[in-house]
Amino acid sequence: MSAYSDLMGYERDTQALSQISVRLGWDQETVMPRGAAPQRAEEMAALEGVLHARRTDPRVGDWLATIEENMLDTVGQAQIRHIRQGYERATKIPAKLATEMVKLHSMAQGVWAEARGTEDFDAFAPTLKEVLNLKRQEAAALADGGDPYDALLNDYESNAKASELEAMFNALRPRLVALREKVLEADKQPMPLDHAFASEAQMRLTNKLASTFGYDFNHGRVDKAVHPFSSGSGQDVRITTRTSPRDPFNCFYSTIHEVGHGCYELNIDDSYLLTPLGRGVSMGVHESQSRIYENQIGRGQAFTQHLFGVMKDEFGDFGVKDANAFYATVNRVNSGYIRTEADEIHYNLHVLLRFDLERAMIAGDLAVDDLPEAWNTRFKADFGVAVDKPSNGCLQDVHWSVGLFGYFPTYTLGNVYAGCLNKAMRAAVPDLDGALAKGDTSGATNWLRDNVQTHGGLYEPKEVIERACGFAPSEAPLLEYLEEKFSAIYNV
Ligand code: ZN
């Protein structure tokens, strides 16, 4: 099988180059001098050109045509599946369209940021129309007569179908709205934190928390950035977080979330290093890891007991009387406008809204000019409040400006998967809460490592979840978890 080894050798260099590009991106968001931005843009564009040429190199097509897949083992077949998907995708998009999109997206992000700053949707609308126009062309090129939205979705979640997600989301929505209403009408509402927390102390504790969740500082580091993210695969996976003096939970839970993403990448089987299997398999499965670390484990009653203790050690008395009050404060529900600040109940309602609107835009059923009204009407229905300004409404997320259509639903799919994994993990790991209350997450994180993370890209996204859980994924475990948790906290 010399074609297979030639292809894998070629692929290894492509993967290495793409990790360099990722690390340049990390550098840009953390330590790069500001004045270096124009040169960095050129460096990254040059590298992107090299990567694009490698991904569409006709030799890849020749190797793929020569290799007899049925002669390969399961791992080899999975490698070829990923390479074939990538090659077909890259060669279906006309080069002119690809270049136009790259240029437009970097310009559009600036227009969006400006329009959001001045609360002026009309200033963004013409640019969004252009982005949407190119995106619909891309979707049509990728879809081959199939559903255009599915073609975009499959960039982030292979084999997912919008019609299946729609059924799942339609089952979530009414029960989340009902739970939201019940909880917000409860007589006793948890108190928010009211104290100042020094930034250096937050960073000290956030590093401890990263270790507590199994993040390996020999292969990673935690830095500050405007937006928390995780970056890289294999032996070098870095995360970022941020601090805000009045809101240390933002720092701690952003860190735990990114540690979930980071540990997924770090815990993939070593033999997949710098191959297509050596990365998280999809955005949905990735988000399932970050969300289960953050919410089902990190915001659970057992772990918050531990966190309450370490916060008292670090900050002294910060105005919360005991571990029970602290648990309620950590999980306080309120109907804010902003997705990234939303609690566990509202978060998915944010995502469902965006999924329905972007599908309608790609289908040509919703015009850009009608977007603000459609957004605001839906927001009022699901959140019970009227949007007061565009930056709190349809101008809040960067995604659409940079052409990320089909990405939003993977957030909720990740939560659905996290709900399933939590159910299976709790059945499999004895005395999980006893250990979590002492700050020992190893039972949970080892189970996730062995049942999900180690496989990297070996299985299709849905398959890896089903294999880990022993049942087909559905929204039911997430709903049961949310209803039980918040009914207990709010006594409703
Ligand atoms: Zn995430």
Question: What pLDDT does residue 106 have?
Answer: 82
Cα 341 to middle of ligand 1, angstroms: 13
pLDDT of 41 above 90: no
Question: How buried is residue 285: exposed, middle or buried, by Cβ count under 10 Å (0-12/13-18/19+)?
Answer: buried
Domain locations in the chain as residue ranges: 2-146, 162-490
- Mean pLDDT of the region 178-197: 96
What percentage of residues in the chain have a pLDDT greater than 70? 100
Cα 326 to middle of ligand 1, angstroms: 24
What percentage of residues in the chain have a pLDDT greater than 90? 94
Contact 205, 311 (CB under 8 A): yes
Smallest Cα–Cα separation from 382: which of 170, 218, 196, 209?
Answer: 170
Q: Known catalytic residue: 258?
A: yes
Cα 96 to middle of ligand 1, angstroms: 32
Task: Assign domain 162-490 to its CATH architecture.
Answer: Orthogonal Bundle (1.10)
pLDDT of 1 above 70: no
Cα 294 to middle of ligand 1, angstroms: 10
Residue 223 has which token pair?
């830095």
Cα 18 to middle of ligand 1, angstroms: 20
Cα 414 to middle of ligand 1, angstroms: 9
pLDDT of 85 above 70: yes
Contact 479, 169 (CB under 8 A): no
- Look at the pTM and tell me if it is higher than 0.95: yes
Question: How buried is residue 257: exposed, middle or buried, by Cβ count under 10 Å (0-12/13-18/19+)?
Answer: buried
Using one digit for the tens of pLDDT, what is the confidence trace for 423-476?
999 999 999 999 999 999 999 999 999 999 999 999 999 999 999 999 999 999
pLDDT of 422 above 80: yes
Using one digit for the tens of pLDDT, what is the confidence trace for 196-252?
999 999 999 999 999 999 999 999 999 999 999 999 999 999 999 999 999 999 999
pLDDT of 479 above 70: yes
| Apex 358 CA angle, 231 and 464, nearest 5 | 50
Q: Which of 138, 258, 287, 475 is catalytic?
A: 258
- Mean pLDDT of the region 42-67: 94
In angstroms, the CA 105 to CA 274 distance is 28
Question: What pLDDT does residue 118 have?
Answer: 98
Q: How far is CA 218 from the centre of its chain?
A: 24
Using one digit for the tens of pLDDT, what is the confidence trace for 354-401?
999 999 999 999 999 999 999 999 999 999 999 999 999 999 999 999
Residue 144 pLDDT level (bands cut at 50, 70, 90): confident
- Mean pLDDT of the region 407-416: 98
3-state secondary structure the chain: CHHHHHHHHHHHHHHHHHHHHHHHHHHHHHCCCHHHHHHHHHHHHHHHHHHHHHHCCHHHHHHHHHCCHHHCCHHHHHHHHHHHHHHHHHHHCCHHHHHHHHHHHHHHHHHHHHHHHCCCHHHHHHHHHHHHHHHHHHHHHHHCCCCHHHHHHCCCCCCCCHHHHHHHHHHHHHHHHHHHHHHHCCCCCCCCCCCCCCHHHHHHHHHHHHHHCCCCCCCCCEEECCCCCEECCCCCCEEEECCCCCCHHHHHHHHHHHHHHHHHHHCCCHHHCCCCCCCCCCHHHHHHHHHHHHHHHCCCHHHHHHHHHHHHHHHCCCCCCCHHHHHHHHCCCCCCCCHHHCCHHHHHHHHHHHHHHHHHHHHCCCCHHHHHHHHHHHHHHHHCCCCCCHHHCCCCCCHHHHCCCCCCHHHHHHHHHHHHHHHHHHHHCCCHHHHHHCCCCHHHHHHHHHHCHHHCCCCCHHHHHHHHHCCCCCCHHHHHHHHHHHHHHHCC
- Mean pLDDT of the region 484-489: 98
- Mean pLDDT of the region 56-64: 97
Question: What pLDDT does residue 95 have?
Answer: 86
